[in-house]
Amino acid sequence: MRCSNIRPITFAALVGALAAFSSLPAAAQDFFAGKSIDLLIGAPPGGGYDIYGRAVARHLGRHIPGNPSIVPKNMPGAGSARAAGFISNVAPKDGTVIANIMPGAVMDPMLDPKAERLFEPTQVMFIGNVNNGVRVCVSGKHAKVKTFEDARTVKAVFGGGQANDSTRDYGYLHRKTTGAKWDMVTGYKGTSDLSLALERGEIEGFCGFDWASLKSQRPAWVRDKVVNVLTQDAIEPMEELTRLGVPHIMTFVKDDTTRKVLELILSQTVFHRSFIAPPKTTPANLAILRRAFDATMKDPQFLADAEKLRIDVAPLSGERVQEVVRNLYASSPQVIDLARAAINP
């Protein structure tokens, strides 16, 4: 155990450390007063990540000492890795620039060794995660595929985004692990474009759509049963979707190795809508950002805003997300290799 390596601390050193710690919040409070914080949203305007990012931006500043204004700015590209790269390599290390990124940006450096490595996921500082969510596969009413069982026997055309995007990764994931027979057409720019393509009949369905985003962006699809919800993709089934008769993805997995591969990939829902600060952000400012984020998640005004927008809020602390990401990157090479193969053409 690590505790066996702890060495005795002198009383003077302990007093000095406590004094230094107690002075940090005041310094941070002085620092943020009168400033603004840029919030980089690593996704195009109009999609689920944009909706969540701007909702947090409207309320976060009230919980930061000095009440800085939060300025949301879209920075899409490489499945949020562009925004994460800016945070890591360009942004000041003081908390005045933060980002809201997709989980694919965190997973891709591990799962795609050929991808340009724009940042180190274990080095960025996680502020918190808004929604420990569930993703779904959907098909249109015009599609031959009405259930996931149909997808395992009937040919279809499904759409997907660009590299690192869940709609692309999950589309290939189901082809490789559950026997789905759809052909993939990729390169769409987010769920807004994919939704339009589905409505136009260009594609018959797509995967990796956040359930919360689906309800927010296309409420009529759920209310009027415009689409078929084929499967729920998460480590554990969601009660709401189970009540609606949507099968959990693990229902279609029989062997233990495939299950481990799916668990590795689906564990990214733990940092489903995470907010990050740069590596080596000053400890005092990071602590204040994390406390402010946690307070925002309980803020009645934010929760009322979320309800109005039809977005789900199931938060996790920055410390917890940091731990999950660190453990993911310690996964066995065999499982990582299999997971890499599962989400690529």
What is the helix (H) or strand (E) element at residue 96, kind and residue range? none
Spatial CB neighbours of 201, under 8 Å, sequence gap ≥ 6: 140, 142
Assigned superfamily of 2-132+272-330: Bordetella uptake gene, domain 1 (3.40.190.150)
CA atoms within 13 A on the CB side of 133: 26
Regarding pTM above 0.85, the answer is no
Which pLDDT does position 9 carry in this prediction?
Answer: 38
Which pLDDT does position 213 carry in this prediction?
Answer: 86
* Cα pseudo-dihedral 183, 210, 344, 253, rounded to 10: -80
Which pLDDT does position 17 carry in this prediction?
Answer: 38
Which pLDDT does position 277 carry in this prediction?
Answer: 98
Which pLDDT does position 23 carry in this prediction?
Answer: 45
Write the CATH number of the domain with boundaries 135-267: 3.40.190.10
* Domain boundaries, given as residue ranges, for the chain: 2-132+272-330, 135-267
Which pLDDT does position 165 carry in this prediction?
Answer: 86
Q: Which two tokens stand for residue 3?
A: 């505790």
Low-confidence residues in the chain, pLDDT < 70: 1-29
CA atoms within 13 A on the CB side of 56: 34
**Domain 135-267 in the same topology as domain 2-132+272-330:** yes
Summarize pLDDT for 14-64 with one digit per residue, the tens: 344 334 444 445 555 689 999 999 999 999 998 889 999 999 999 999 999
Handedness of CA 322, 328, 270, 49 (dihedral sign): positive
Summarize pLDDT for 62-100 with one digit per residue, the tens: 999 999 999 999 999 988 999 999 999 999 999 999 999
Q: Enumerate long-range contacts of 223-227, CB under 8 Å, 24 or more apart.
A: 226/140, 226/141, 227/138, 227/139, 227/140, 227/141, 227/198
Q: Which two tokens stand for residue 222?
A: 């759920």
Which pLDDT does position 25 carry in this prediction?
Answer: 53
DSSP-H helix ranges across the chain: 11-32, 48-60, 81-89, 103-111, 148-151, 166-177, 190-200, 211-217, 219-223, 239-243, 256-266, 283-298, 300-309, 318-328, 333-342
Which pLDDT does position 29 carry in this prediction?
Answer: 64
